[in-house]
Structure 1
Amino acid sequence: MDGGKRSRVETFFLGSLLLWLASVCFQIMFKKQTQLLWVIAGSFFYQTSNSLIRFAHKDPLFVNTSVSLLHSSLTSASVIFILFRELLSNGPSGMFDHSQLVENTWPWAFEALSFSCGYFAYDQWDMLHYRLYNGWIPSILVHHLVLLMCFTLALYRNVTINYLILTLICELHSIFLHLRKVRRMAGIRDAKSILVKFEWFLNWVTFFVARSAPHVLITAKLIKDAHKFEKGGIELPLALFGIAGMNLLNVGLGIDLLKAFKRERKSQKTNLHHHRE
């Protein structure tokens, strides 16, 4: 990417990030929504984690991936804890009722969503700062921007928090995405090793079980309950816009995963052929 195009990309996404930060600070200071301090706390926590990891490893991509792995692990654990706790309290029929998902907030759901929102803001900044993205319209930056918009608007209005917590179960798959990247940066690329095969197995299983299926089910639930949303309200359009974006990104991610899987297998076969020669 040439300098001019890169500059325009950075200007747009950095500007949107600064506007987002100004909006959050306005809500905290003037609207007295002090619970949004969890968003700021999340950003500081992951930025501090970045700085600590950087003492041991200077490569910006390795540091960024390590922090992303930390976020995926913590978020997955918190979401599973929230869902399991609610499942024991109200059962599946009660916890997935429309009013529960839209109007109510499960214990710790607001804090978990806010903390994760802080991570996406940190990660957007880190990727822009070290230019850890590719393409004229980088999908990862678009992904973070969409999430920041949807998450913060929901947090401001304190609606659909539980729906968004359900979408974060996809972070279970992200663990293996980040593990794969760390593994490759560590030089472990033998496609026939048990470790790599097991990692790919978990990658594909969680892609379908924890990412694709939940987002499709959430889409179906939103469409089914569309008539239950307040007419003229922002909740339904916002939810449909956000989940549609996630589903599109999932399709792109699935294609990229398949290409990476084939590429690793092809590379292994090529190396084996050269070795025999």
Structure 2
Amino acid sequence: MDSLTPGYFLEDFVDMLCNQKLHQSWELLFHHSVVIVCFGIAVLLHQYVGFALVALLVEINSIFLHLRQILLMANLVHTTCYRLNSVINLGTYVVFRIATLAWMTHWLFLNRQNVPPATYAVGTVGMAIMTPMNIILFYRLLRSDFFKSRRDVQREKEE
């Protein structure tokens, strides 16, 4: 692994700063900051590269998250394509985000004696940030795509 991965996240971070409102992108900016630090350590120290590469499995789900955003922007929410993507999105979310983060947390805990304290601290803080963020996003996706509120159902009836 070279500096390509942290470079991508850095470029995306700068792009969001320049082209999006902070209140719309602060969570993703925070996420990118954590990723840049964690991948930066792996690149600079030439250590924990395998661990960092496992973290990239999370990005497989990003394909379906981005497709979801595109379908929303195209106002294709009530289509078979959107519904199919919603199911695949949640499936890949569980496999490639939740399971990967759980494995990474487990590995970090099991190998805590073999990891220098500063690196262990960064990894632990990174997992402590990413795990709740991903659980919250999963809940939002479930609620939005599968469990409509009474208010949403009422709004659709009025339209």
Aligned to 1:115: 4
Q: Do structure 1's residue 254 and structure 2's residue 131 form an aligned pair?
A: no
* CA drift at 1:274: 4.6
Cα distance, 1:138–1:122 mapped onto 2, change above 3 Å: same
TM-superposition CA deviations, 1:134-155 (whole Å, max 9, x none)? 26x9211111111111111221
1:10-65 deviation line (CA, Å, top 9, x unaligned): xxxxxxxxxxxxxxxxxxxxxxxxxxxxxxxxxxxxxxxxxxxxxxxxxxxxxxxx
1:268/1:203 CA distance change after superposition, 3 Å: farther
Instruction: Give the count of matched residue pairs.
Output: 158
Which blocks of at least 5 consecutive residues in structure 1 are unaligned?
1-109
Query: Shift in Å at residue 169 of structure 1?
Result: 0.3
| Paired amino acid for 1:147 | V
What is the Cα deviation at residue 267 of structure 1?
4.5
CA distances 1:47-87 after superposition (whole Å, capped 9, x unpaired): xxxxxxxxxxxxxxxxxxxxxxxxxxxxxxxxxxxxxxxxx
* 2:39 paired with 1:155: no
The superposition leaves residues 206-246 of structure 1 with CA deviations (integer Å, 9 ceiling, x where unpaired) of 1101100110111011111212334xx42222222222221
User: Matches of 1:208 and 1:260 in 2, distance apart?
Assistant: 16
> What SS does the corresponding residue of 2:56 show, helix, strand or coil?
helix
State the TM-score, normalized to the length of structure 2: 0.87
Q: CA deviation at 1:174?
A: 0.8
Aligned match of 1:176 = 64
Flag the structure with larger Rg: 1
Q: Which runs of 5+ in 2 are unaligned?
A: none
Matched, 1:228 2:114: yes
Question: Post-superposition shift, 1:133?
Answer: 3.7
| Structure 2 equivalent of residue 214 of structure 1 | 100
Structure 1 residues 249 and 132, CA gap change in structure 2 (3 angstroms): same
Q: Over the residues paired in the alignment, what is the CA RMSD in angstroms?
A: 2.4
Partners of 2:150 and 2:70 lie apart in 1 by 18
Asked if the contact 1:160–1:235 (Cα under 8 Å) also holds between the matched residues in 2, the reply is: no
Aligned to 1:245: 129
Change (3 A) 1:120 1:181: same
Percent identity between the aligned chains? 26
Which residue identity does 2:93 align to in structure 1?
F
Q: 1:165 offset after TM fit, Å?
A: 0.7
- Range moving further from structure 2, 166-175 or 126-135: 126-135
2:19 matched residue in structure 1: 130
Tell me the secondary structure at the aligned position of residue 234 of structure 1.
helix
* Partner Cα separation in structure 1 for residue 44 and residue 108 of structure 2: 20
Instruction: Provide the C-alpha distance between the structure 2 equivalents of 1:115 and 1:269, rounded to a whole number of angstroms.
Output: 47
| CA shift for structure 1 position 189 | 1.7
- Do the aligned partners of 1:133 and 1:140 also contact (CA within 8 Å) in 2? no
**C-alpha contact (below 8 Å) 2:5/2:39 kept by paired residues:** no
CA–CA separation in structure 1 for the residues paired with 2:29 and 2:77: 27
TM-score, normalization: structure 1? 0.52
Name the residue aligned to 1:164: 52
Matches within 5 A, 1:28-177: 110-111=1-2, 114-134=3-23, 138-177=26-65
